[in-house]
Chains A and B, each alone.
Chain A
Amino acid sequence: MRDDERSTEFVAFTRAHRPDLVRTAALLCAGDEAFAEDVVQTTLTRLYLAWPRVRRADSALAYARRSLTHAFIDEARRAHRRRETTMAEPAAAGSEPVGPEADPALREVVLAALAALGPRQRAVVVLRHWHDLDVAETARILGCSPGTVKSQNARALAHLREHLGALDLALEVC
């Protein structure tokens, strides 16, 4: 594959899907925008290096999201100690919400709830409830068993319900 062809395709992909990856990364990183940007940059570099594989994938975006999740877990493991302090005040780490239903109070509570989850639990929440992946696909991406995904998901949702219940979001976990 020629280098200019790879670069053209990469730029087109990045232009189309970078915002999606950043939004996903922001969730994975519990609103730490700088960390999220690091993870996205790492992911895009990995995608470029493995571009022939990205092209062969059924869905380049799905491949990218999987790569993003791996990059996040790698980085979270390395950065865990360093970031503990900053994650203690997650609401201060992000930007202001936008859109007609922007709700700063909700954002603050959600950030705190996500920040209190472990990286893999957060990944389960994002993959299952943001990207709507099923248990089997989530397990495949995270390299664990479906049973582990189910238990992590149940614990994470119970935690979110506890935190978000005060906002009367009618979250119910069963």
Chain B
Amino acid sequence: MVPHDALTRALQSVADVERREVDPADDLARARSASRRRTRRRLRLGLTGVTAAVVLGLGASALLPADRVESPGVELVAERFEATPYTFDLTPRGWSVQGQRPSAVTIAPDDGSTSGNPDDFVGKLVILFDTNPPDGREIQRDGRDFWVSRDSDYTTLATATRGSEPSGVVRIQYPEDTGWDLGAMVAFLGSVHVGPGARHGFG
């Protein structure tokens, strides 16, 4: 161990310097400007999404029990999207694919509150594909078995792939403080299709 007071004193010599005071109004102005830019961007993307939904959504909607799944903070809509080799029948509004690999997909909130590194999973949804046996509480939905387990502030939901897909277990890990709930996540995981290019990770 480093003696705490010596290291603290060393760090203080860098942290505690004289600085000019900044008016919080400047920070607020910058933040509001960013918020307006985000709103305009979402409006543009929304219009694009509506067009895509007309093309893709009809087939997907016909297969789903509902075209919309409400969760306290996240809305899933019946729009298909691809993160090769994975395909999703449901799209979480306000979240986007940040990284995709044969063994994992990282989906991050659009608000910029998380790291830009797709290998950093804090605050994000992560879809993983592996051969580890699923564990936790078992539940059944629409004829499929799902296993739910919790660790710290994250929940992991696992299910076996369908017979027509590469054999293995597909999982979703999600942070509990971002508005996702189990019902929405079961629906989302149930909407994942594992393509032939998927490779097992080490989990």
Contacts and interface: CB of A to CB of B under 8 A. Distances in A.
Nearest to B121: A143
A61 B117 CA distance: 23
A49 B31 contact: yes
Contacts of B116: 74, 77
A57 interface: yes
A73 B113 CA distance: 13
A45 B31 contact: yes
Contact of A50 (B18, B109, B120, B122): B109
B113 A23 contact: no
Interface string A90-123: 0000111111011100110011001000000000
Interface in B53-87: 73
B28 A110 contact: no
How many of chain B's residues touch chain A, expressed as a range? 35 or more
A173 B178 CA distance: 39
Nearest to A142: B120
Interface residues of A, number: 65
Interface in A1-37: 7, 10-11, 14-15, 18-19, 22-24, 26-27, 30-31, 33
A10 B28 contact: yes
A45 B17 contact: no
A73 B117 CA distance: 9
Contact of A53 (B4, B24, B177): B177
Output the residue of A11, A96, A125, A161 with the most chain B CB within 10 A: A11
Contacts of A161: 2
Contacts of B119: 143
B47 interface: no
Nearest to B26: A41
Given A33-B19, A53-B177, A141-B122, A14 B6 contact: no
Given A46-B113, A50-B109, A101-B9, A110 B30 contact: no
Contacts of B178: 53
Contact of A171 (B2, B24, B35): B2
A166 interface: no
Given A22-B19, A95-B18, A114-B14, A46 B111 contact: yes
Interface of A: 7, 10-11, 14-15, 18-19, 22-24, 26-27, 30-31, 33, 41, 44-50, 52-53, 56-57, 66-67, 70, 73-74, 77, 94-99, 101-103, 106-107, 110-111, 114, 125-126, 129-130, 140-143, 157, 160-161, 164, 169-174
27 contacts: A18-B24, A18-B27, A19-B19, A27-B14, A27-B15, A30-B14, A31-B14, A41-B27, A44-B30, A46-B111, A48-B31, A49-B35, A50-B111, A73-B115, A73-B117, A77-B117, A94-B17, A97-B16, A99-B12, A107-B13, A141-B122, A157-B2, A160-B7, A164-B10, A169-B10, A170-B3, A171-B2
| In the A-B complex, the 8 residue pairs with the closest CB atoms | A48-B31, A143-B120, A50-B113, A23-B15, A14-B24, A107-B13, A95-B17, A70-B115
